[in-house]
């Protein structure tokens, strides 16, 4: 019952629908009493030889009218109550989606994608079912049963009713014990289903790698072990579920035995009529379905409770980074500065950035280079405010970034990460994702700036070509340039390019960088790269090693210092000359 109490906020929203639906359900339960009562009186009239042809005609008309009326009533209360379930499912999925979009990366490190999908596809529908089928079953079980019991007392005999109820305490005790087991086992089922989802996602997304290493058979075997675990836990849950209905039917059977035995005794001693005994048996038959529904309700309640517990565990997790209580309005990022910033990922044993300091003004470009794993991408992520950092270490327009609204900061940024998010839509839709209202001319301009126009023209449907899931039909260079076009389309105040030219040739790289400089004149740009030619035009360059700045300056200054930058630059120049000679 605690689950229904937790859903009272939704019941208050839809109280009119619930009031009408429950009222119709009560009317239906009252109408179900008419045929047993009517048939019992008819039998007594037949025995007393007072039943006539007119009474037979009236009986047929009455029962036919009652059947048609019940059809309409049942249709509407089903429509109203199950419509509420659909509305709740929509609301919960919307809330979960909004919650997920607010979460920072640490949340997704703790919660795997497969488990989150299980919440959407399995847990929320189970919770929503309580708002529809659960409420209907609850009303039908308790109010319907009470109505029948009252009818037994009024129209038959209270002693016969009390005798028939003797087995019910055993039913309540057994079902409550089995319900605890059902909840625990169903929770195990949902967790196993989440693991299976995760395995499927990883297998499909990594299918190319699996095939290249000829690991298909091993992956299938691993998947079979996962599905075996899901099956075993489902079988355990199903076994517990199946115990409930036999218990209910057995108890109802005992009620029938008591009712018929004691009822026959009362008829024999003329305390009730034969028609009343038949009416009582039909009333007892009406109790069977509420009892059966009670078993279904227990299963539904326990499954919904386990699902709600899993959903609440996810919804209770809050984003690591939130807006400060007192925010400072900043209209334009006129400068960006780090002061001795040190950062460590949650759960990591060492710092990823140590005492990083730099300052660039609006319109300047900062180049960030260094060995793989030196902290280049980590530095850029500090601007996105995905993780908590020490206060008074990162400033925008000389204001600590923690005092600037999150939405404001992110609205300035056009971010092109190393891993590109591409949707299974057309090329145009993917580029216009950040600005769906962009005109065709604006999209075409972004395509030209990213040197993607010729590639698109060679495709059969141009920019209406569907690129497949994660851009499966595109090359690495095409994916990178499409991501660049997406960022340029929104014309950001701060453009962040995280090693996004690694898959294009040097000539295309040079042209793209030239276009970017022209397009973002007066805007701030951050570029990380392994190919130093991509940052040679930058106003300031920092060289990272193990999270620390070991060199910094302009391109010319770094070449003059004879450090890592010069050594790497000369090596890349020699490799480029060697490749040119081989091409000749």
* pTM, full prediction: 0.72
**pLDDT tens, position by position, 126-181:** 888 888 888 888 887 788 788 888 888 888 877 887 887 777 777 767 776 776 77
Q: Of 142, 145, 163, which is closest to residue 287 (Cα–Cα)?
A: 145
* Beta-carbon count within 10 A of 395 CB: 19
Max CA separation in the chain (angstroms):
122
pLDDT band at 343 (very low <50, low <70, confident <90, very high): very high
Cβ–Cβ under 8 Å, residues 393 and 352: no
**pLDDT tens, position by position, 471-490:** 777 777 888 888 888 888 88
pLDDT of residue 26: 87
**pLDDT tens, position by position, 278-293:** 888 888 777 766 766 6
**pLDDT tens, position by position, 527-548:** 998 888 888 888 999 999 988 9
Joined together, the tokens standing for residue 502 give: 């690694």
**pLDDT tens, position by position, 365-379:** 999 998 888 888 899
Q: Span 436-461, mean pLDDT?
A: 85
Angle at 213 between CA 207 and CA 214, to 5 degrees: 80
Is the pLDDT at 409 greater than 70? The verdict is yes
Measured distance CA(471)–CA(430) in Å, rounded? 10
Which residues does residue 496 pair with via DSSP β-bridges, in sequence order?
Answer: 415, 526
Measured distance CA(580)–CA(584) in Å, rounded? 6
Cβ–Cβ under 8 Å, residues 542 and 559: no
Is the pLDDT at 578 greater than 90? The verdict is no
pLDDT of residue 395: 93
**pLDDT tens, position by position, 27-66:** 888 888 888 887 787 887 777 777 777 777 887 888 888 8
Mean pLDDT of the chain: 83
Q: Of 185, 204, 182, 181, which is closest to residue 193 (Cα–Cα)?
A: 185
Please state, for a pLDDT cut of 70, what percent of the chain lies above it. 94
482-497: burial string, b at 16+ Cβ within 10 Å, e else? bbbbbbbbbebbbbbb
Q: Of 190, 213, 193, 212, which is closest to residue 201 (Cα–Cα)?
A: 193
Which residues does residue 544 pair with via DSSP β-bridges, in sequence order?
Answer: 370, 549
pLDDT band at 584 (very low <50, low <70, confident <90, very high): very low
pLDDT of residue 212: 67
Cβ–Cβ under 8 Å, residues 32 and 287: no
205 vs 274, residue with greater confidence: 274
Joined together, the tokens standing for residue 393 give: 């270490």
pLDDT of residue 289: 67
Please state, for a pLDDT cut of 90, what percent of the chain lies above it. 10
Cβ–Cβ under 8 Å, residues 164 and 258: yes
Residue with tokens 């703790």: 110
Is the pLDDT at 252 greater than 70? The verdict is yes
pLDDT of residue 369: 92
Burial class (CB in 10 A: 0-12, 13-18, 19+), 250: middle
pLDDT of residue 583: 46
Measured distance CA(447)–CA(298) in Å, rounded? 58
Cβ–Cβ under 8 Å, residues 396 and 404: yes
When mean pLDDT is compared over 32-46, 258-272, 382-396, 445-459, the highest value belongs to 382-396
pLDDT of residue 295: 64
**pLDDT tens, position by position, 514-527:** 888 888 788 899 99
Cβ–Cβ under 8 Å, residues 551 and 558: yes
Sheet harboring 365-370: ordered strands across?
413-416, 494-498, 524-528, 365-370, 540-545, 548-553
19 vs 43, residue with greater confidence: 19
Is the pLDDT at 95 greater than 80? The verdict is yes
Measured distance CA(502)–CA(482) in Å, rounded? 14
């Amino acid at each position: 019952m605690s689950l229904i109490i937790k859903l009272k906020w939704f019941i208050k929203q839809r109280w009119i629908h619930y009031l009408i639906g429950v009222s119709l359900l009560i009317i239906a339960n009252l109408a179900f009493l008419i045929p047993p009562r009517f048939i019992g009186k008819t039998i007594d009239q037949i025995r007393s030889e007072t039943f006539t042809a007119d009474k037979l005609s009236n009986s047929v008309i009455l029962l036919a009218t009652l059947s048609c009326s019940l059809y309409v009533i049942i249709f509407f209360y089903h429509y109203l109550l199950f419509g509420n379930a659909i509305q709740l499912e929509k609301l919960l999925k919307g809330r979960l989606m909004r919650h997920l979009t607010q979460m920072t990366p640490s949340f997704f490190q703790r919660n795997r994608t497969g488990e989150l999908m299980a919440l959407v596809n399995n847990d929320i529908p189970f919770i929503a079912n309580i708002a529809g089928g659960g409420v209907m079953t609850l009303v039908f079980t308790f109010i319907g049963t009470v109505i029948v019991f009252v009818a037994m007392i009024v129209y038959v005999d209270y002693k016969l009713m009390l005798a028939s109820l003797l087995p019910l305490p055993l039913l309540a005790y057994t079902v409550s014990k089995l319900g605890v087991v059902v909840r625990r086992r169903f929770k195990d089922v949902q967790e196993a289903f989440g693991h299976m989802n995760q395995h499927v996602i990883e297998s499909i997304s990594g299918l190319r790698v699996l095939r290249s290493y000829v690991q298909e058979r091993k992956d299938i075997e691993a998947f079979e072990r996962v599905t075996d675990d899901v099956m075993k836990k489902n079988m355990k849950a199903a076994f517990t579920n199946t115990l409930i209905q036999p218990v209910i039917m057995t108890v109802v059977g005992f009620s029938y035995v008591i009712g018929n035995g004691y009822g026959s005794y009362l008829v024999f001693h003329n305390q009730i009529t034969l028609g009343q005994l038949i009416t009582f048996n039909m009333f007892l038959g009406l109790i069977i379905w509420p009892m059966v529904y009670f078993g279904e309700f227990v299963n539904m309640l326990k499954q919904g409770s386990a699902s709600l517990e899993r959903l609440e565990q996810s919804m209770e997790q809050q984003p690591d980074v939130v807006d400060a209580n007192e925010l400072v309005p900043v209209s334009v990022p006129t400068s960006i500065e780090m002061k001795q910033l040190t950062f460590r990922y949650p759960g990591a044993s060492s710092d990823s950035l140590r005492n990083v300091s730099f300052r660039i003004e609006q319109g300047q470009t900062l180049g960030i280079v260094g060995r793989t794993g030196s902290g280049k991408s980590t530095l850029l992520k500090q601007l996105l405010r995905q993780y908590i950092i020490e206060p008074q270490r990162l400033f925008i327009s000389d204001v600590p970034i923690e005092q600037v609204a999150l939405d404001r900061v992110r609205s300035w940024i056009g971010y092109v990460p190393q891993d590109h998010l591409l949707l299974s839509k057309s090329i145009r839709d993917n580029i216009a994702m950040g600005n769906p209202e962009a005109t065709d001319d604006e999209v075409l301009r972004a395509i030209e700036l990213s040197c993607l126009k010729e590639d698109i023209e060679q495709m059969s449907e141009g920019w209406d070509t569907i690129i497949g899931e994660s851009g499966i039909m595109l090359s690495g260079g095409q994916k990178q340039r499409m991501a660049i076009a997406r960022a340029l389309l929104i014309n950001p105040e701060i453009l962040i390019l995280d090693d996004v030219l690694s898959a294009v040739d040097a000539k295309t790289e040079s042209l793209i960088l030239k276009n970017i400089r022209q397009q973002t004149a007066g805007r701030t740009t951050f570029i990380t790269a392994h190919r130093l030619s991509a940052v040679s035009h930058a106003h300031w360059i920092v060289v990272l090693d193990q999270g620390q700045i070991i060199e910094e300056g302009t391109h010319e200054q770094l070449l003059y210092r004879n450090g890592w930058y010069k050594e790497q630059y000369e090596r890349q120049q020699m490799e480029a000359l060697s490749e040119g000679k081989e091409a000749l």
